[in-house]
Amino acid sequence: MKKCALTLVLGLLVSLVSLHAQNRFSVHGGLNYSSVSSTNSINPDGKLGFNTGISYKHYVGDLGWSIKPGIAFSQEGYKNQRLDYLNIPLLVGFDFTTSFSLSIGGQYGFLLGGTNQAREVIYHSNYAFLLTFEFFPTERFVTGLRFSNGLKNIIERPDLIVVQTANTYSVQFYIGVNLFKLQK
């Protein structure tokens, strides 16, 4: 797991250093609805939380393809259990127009904290598949809708709770500001 996290962080740094294309550095914040899906038919109610983060969109060539690493805080969980994650997403995207893009990728999440019971039974890392739609109403602002589906069972201690296996999922809505845009 540490090797995977190190690889993602190094990929983020390499992407941030290569500033030779039309690139965007942005900050964002918003709301998310999250829960877990369980194999033993206990699917608890979802939880509202918030997310905030920074991202860097690096364009590859002139056809609209991009690589978008980032770092984000996301307050997730289910029912009355809060899970605070530091996520490192890495997305590959395509701009269909100057106002709309679609990205897919993955993220590695570090559990920073949460409710006491959650911290005792949940693994401290998570992997997720991401699908993101972004709309740029102006060159300066971005709104986004992101779907996240956990790929890893997050239950480390099934002997302490009813749920034996659970995967996270969330829907995030965010608004962002492009701080600067570098030209070719």
Q: Judge contact between 59 and 65, C-beta under 8 A.
A: yes
pLDDT cut 90: percent of the chain above it: 53
What pLDDT score was predicted for residue 166?
Answer: 82
74-112 residue pLDDT tens: 999 887 788 899 999 999 999 999 899 999 999 999 999
What lies within 8 Å, CB to CB, of 7 at 6+ separation is none
Closest CA to 58 of 87, 29, 95: 95
Domains of the chain: 2-182 (2.40.160.20)
**Separation between Cα atoms, residue 11 and residue 17, nearest integer Å:** 10
Average pLDDT over residues 12-25: 57
Please state the pTM of the whole predicted model. Answer: 0.81
Q: Between 110 and 163, where is the model more confident?
A: 110
